[in-house]
Structure formats: C-alpha cells, structure tokens
Amino acid sequence: MVVKIMQNECISFDSSKYCTPLLKQLREKGRKRSSSDAFRETADALDHLKLAPKIKRVVRRPPPLLTIYLRKETEKAYDAIFLEEITVEKFKEAVSLRYELTVDSIKSISLRKKSGSLIEIDDQTVKKFIDEEDFIISLDYDSAEGTCKITLSRPPSR
C-alpha cells in the first residue's frame, strides 16, 4: 500500500527531482557518504605519494683551519687541500683523496728545505704551515711495494 502511494507521488525520477522528502534525504546522505569516502581515499593516496616537500637541512661544514695549495712540478694549476684538524693523518687523508691514493699506501711525507735537506713531516711541522701556503708535491711510487713517498718543496721565489 505504501509503495503504491509513493509511486503515485513520483512525478519524475532524475537527478534534480526526488519523489519524497524521505527519499531526497536518503539520497543526499548517500551522496555525502560517497564524496567523503572519495575524499578520504584521495587523502590516503596523496599521503602515500609524499607530494609535500620535505624540510631540507642546510649542512654547513666548519671552515677549514688550514688551506694548503699543492701542485706537481709539471702542472701550472694548484690543487687546494683543506684541513679541519691540523694533524699528519688528516693531511695524508686529504692528499690521498686529491691524488687518488690510499692512505695506507703513503709511506712517508717529507719536506725539502731550501738547503736541500729532507725532514719528515710530523704534527708539529703541519702546525707550522701557514694558511694558504703553496708547495710543489712530488709523488714517488714504488710499484714493487705498492707504496708512495711524498716530498713537498716550496716553489722558487718569483
């Protein structure tokens, strides 16, 4: 009986007109539920995509305590070596990185004085280097042992 009454009250059944206020309300709830579900699914999908930019930290290294310029005898340009700690080990690491050596392959590092004598470089010698001092580097490879001797000398005065 109720169905017959509802059928009699329906004039047209399209998206803009509804049969009764009850059907209109149910249809509206269904639409709201589906749009909220769609919004929730979209939000979940966006969370998985990670579209929001991440906060980037700027990592700034402390300025080097000592900068030394090295060049080979045959080269015209100097290579800069930056030391954050003034030790022989850090100097070896920097030289090995610049000239593609392993730290273990560096057997010794010596400094040629103006008189021609060689002194072995230790921590005290490295601490006496002046910032932005330049040297000519000589790499003497011993392929039998797999080691390298490094000799630093000051360039001739200009």
Domains of the chain: 66-153 (3.10.20)
Q: Classify burial at 132, counting beta carbons within 10 Å of its beta carbon; exposed 0-12, middle 13-18, buried 19 or more.
A: exposed
Q: Quote the pLDDT of residue 2.
A: 46
**Where does 4-131 show beta strands of DSSP type E?**
66-72, 79-83, 106-112, 118-120
pLDDT by residue, tens only, the chain of 158 residues: 444 444 444 444 455 454 677 667 766 766 666 666 777 777 666 666 666 666 777 778 788 899 999 999 999 999 999 999 999 999 999 999 999 989 999 999 999 998 889 999 999 999 999 999 999 999 999 888 889 999 999 998 75
Nearest CA to 77 out of 18, 136, 34 is that of 136
**Could you give the CA distance from residue 71 to residue 112 in angstroms, rounded to a whole number?**
15
User: DSSP secondary-structure letter at 157?
Assistant: P
Q: Considering the entire predicted model, what is its pTM?
A: 0.59
DSSP character string of 94-131: HHHHHTT--GGGEEEEEEE-TTS-EEE--HHHHHHSPT
One-letter amino acid identity for 99?
A: Y
Taking only the tens place, the pLDDT of each residue in 92-124 is 999 999 999 899 999 999 999 988 899 999 999
Q: Quote the pLDDT of residue 4.
A: 45
Q: Quote the pLDDT of residue 56.
A: 73
Structure tokens at 119: 């002194």
